[in-house]
Amino acid sequence: MPATFDAPVVLARCFYNGTEEEESAFYENLIAVGALVNTIAMIPHEKLNSLLNHAAGFNGRKMLGGGAVKPPLDAKFVQSLFDEFMGYVNGKEGIIQSL
C-alpha cells in the first residue's frame, strides 16, 4: 500500500477461509471495482493480524471503524454512505492528517 494518500480511500481487508482461487471467486464483485493495490494472497493468521500495524503510529488522528457485513451489499446504499462520508471529510480543515 502506498505510504501516503492525498485523498480519502476505502480500505478493505478481506478474509476468506479457503484457497486463494476460492477467495478470488467469492470477492470477484469487489475485485471488479478496481483497486489501487490488490494483495490477495494466502497468508498465515499472524501476518493477517499485523497488516495494519504500520499505519497505527502514535501521531496524527485516526478514524477507525468496521463491522461484519453479509453479502450481497446494495451498491446504491454503499455509495450513499461514501458520499455522506466525503461530505464530512471535505468540510473539515486539516482532515488530511487523519488516518
For the chain, give the percent of residues with pLDDT over 90: 6
CA-based torsion, 8, 84, 49, 56: positive or negative: positive
| 90 CB-near residues (< 8 Å, 6+ apart) | none
CA angle 52-13-48, nearest 5°? 55
Q: What is the pLDDT of residue 62?
A: 65
The CA distance from 38 to 75, in Å, is 20
Residue 15 has pLDDT above 70, yes or no: yes
Residue 2 has pLDDT above 60, yes or no: no
pTM for the whole structure: 0.55
User: Sorting pLDDT into bands at 50, 70 and 90, what band is 5?
Assistant: low
Residue pLDDT, tens place only, 42-86:
888 888 888 777 766 666 666 666 667 777 888 899 899 889 988
